[in-house]
A and B are shown apart, each in its own frame.
Chain A
């Protein structure tokens, strides 16, 4: 009974608390919270690809970079409003990311990693060297756009924008995985032959998940650009990717809760080790190894086993079904 209550009230209470957050924070803490929320979006995207679909691709940070640069350059150079620039970042990343499905369809699985690694590095190289467009290592500054009372100069204002985006994208991802799409992803991850023999088209499904995952990375990247106010190519390299990997692995693969938990923990962690690159690398690297070896389900997997987190079954309305069967069986 208490569990039902918690389940019913968790989301509204959490949203209410989140809405009140800016009242209690200073600008620095608000800045970090904004980053956490952006990383939730990015982690959900990576979890779809790496966790649910089991595709070991290395381009997520590069897709985030595509989204960030598309949005930032549209705003900085063409004066496009962020209302258009941010979605444009998402769609640009989705368009490029869906190309990642091409190698994923035809190649031996090791080659997917190598191919996407090469593409990611190439994208970063272009960001550095195509100075005419990308401004090279100087990076791009985001103009402080105003919209009625809303201004991109304020971390508090940005917070509500990012929070709304995250809420929508979280619900969308939940619905996607709780449909036949989500089930076909896990089916492909576990057994492509079983998937095919049950009428699932591997090619379509992979193309879709690469595109959706890159869309999340792109939107996340565009919002990341808004949060930081200034982006440089170096921000979207391999270190960024390891941060993403750590978030989804430590938070928990194949779990939406996992993406949230991972983003909260691992985005705040480097702030505690502020600026000590060596320690960050060491800790991310070691945590990644330790979790994969000893707790492959991540924190969410562990918590679900213990009953601290609800089960995540990829069927929409499964709770209602379970409750109904219990009533029928009990009567």
Chain B
């Protein structure tokens, strides 16, 4: 299998504080890759580096065969990298429909001029986008929420809407930042099932940052462990789970 995402020696520096330190990893197309580590290990910063929100120096990120290290975030998104956020970031005054359509921004082939034309309130490009939105909401079981606003939804539903926004453009790579945080065991099970279906039915490659270890270790093909910005272990979930360094980090945290 060819690697869809490759990070080589990725380092992120915040004015002297090294948040991510020479992390190298490679995610093959179609895989689910877990990233775990204690709080402040640099997981989210690593995500931000892949999404283009923080500058990488030094280091190199390649996606789908091209070097994307210098690309701005919106271009990476257009190439097919989409993400969710640790704290759900929906637009409060938007309905679910509008929120999810934001994810299709680049896919709606309409410009300022063509959006003006046509009678009777119809637009082929918009209608196609609406169909795609309905499709992804059906996949997630959220069709009833279409015209609701985020405040009318439960926390878990909001999280699913954010996943819908990230998925609607059918990205090649989906970055999920703690999708299970704050969810009940049943809802975590739903996330687990969703990730498996995405892999089999859509073939989406997923990188998953997660605190809920049971989920990551169950669903991931490979797991990377970050601590203090450094990659301290990588391997199949079972190997990682057994790795004494990983245990030390996690037990150290649990008993702190």
Contact = CB atoms under 8 A, between A and B. Distances in A.
A and B are interacting partners: yes
B15 interface: no
A187 interface: yes
Interface in B61-112: 72-74, 77-78, 82-83, 85, 89, 91-95, 97-98, 101-106, 108, 110, 112
Contact of B101 (A172, A180, A322): A180
A197 interface: yes
A128 interface: no
Interface residues on A, range: 35 or more
B39 interface: no
B51 A316 contact: no
A316 B122 contact: yes
Interface string A198-224: 111110000010001000000000000
A197 to B, nearest CB: 6
Contact of B115 (A175, A202, A317): A175
Interface string B100-135: 011111101010100110000111001101100000
B105 to A, nearest CB: 5
A228 interface: no
Interface in B130-153: 130, 143, 146-147
B49 interface: no
A139 to B, nearest CB: 35
B165 interface: yes
A202 B75 CA distance: 11
B95 A197 contact: no
A198 B105 contact: yes
Contacts of B53: 193, 196-197
Contacts of A316: 115, 121-123, 126
A315 B101 contact: yes
Contacts of B103: 198-199
Interface in A161-182: 172, 175-176, 178-181
A200 B74 CA distance: 6
B7 interface: no
A180 B77 contact: no
Given A198-B103, A202-B74, A313 B95 contact: yes
A199 B78 contact: yes
B22 interface: no
B5 interface: no
A201 B93 contact: no
A120 B72 CA distance: 32
B169 interface: yes
A172 B116 contact: yes
Contacts of A208: 112
Contacts of B98: 183, 313-315
A183 B112 contact: no
Given A313-B98, A314-B98, A321-B130, A199 B146 contact: no
Contacts of A271: none
Contacts, number: 118
Nearest to A328: B143
Contacts of B127: 317
A191 B112 CA distance: 22
A145 interface: no
A330 B122 CA distance: 24
B123 A317 contact: yes
A39 B53 CA distance: 40
A318 B116 CA distance: 16
B74 A190 contact: no
A178 B105 CA distance: 13
Contacts of B82: 197-198
A299 B52 CA distance: 40
Contacts of A198: 74, 77, 82, 102-103, 105, 165
A80 B230 CA distance: 70
What are the 7 closest A-B residue pairs judged by CB atoms, nearest first?
Answer: A179-B115, A199-B106, A199-B77, A196-B73, A199-B78, A316-B126, A180-B108
21 contacts: A179-B108, A179-B126, A180-B101, A181-B115, A183-B94, A186-B94, A195-B102, A196-B73, A197-B51, A197-B73, A197-B77, A197-B83, A198-B105, A199-B74, A199-B78, A200-B106, A212-B112, A313-B98, A314-B98, A315-B126, A318-B147
Given A186-B93, A313-B98, A321-B97, 19 more contacts: A178-B126, A179-B115, A179-B126, A184-B102, A193-B53, A194-B85, A196-B73, A197-B53, A197-B73, A197-B74, A199-B74, A200-B102, A314-B94, A314-B98, A315-B101, A315-B126, A316-B115, A316-B121, A325-B146
Interface of A: 172, 175-176, 178-181, 183-184, 186-187, 190-191, 193-202, 208, 212, 254, 313-322, 325
Interface of B: 51-53, 72-74, 77-78, 82-83, 85, 89, 91-95, 97-98, 101-106, 108, 110, 112, 115-116, 121-123, 126-127, 129-130, 143, 146-147, 165, 169
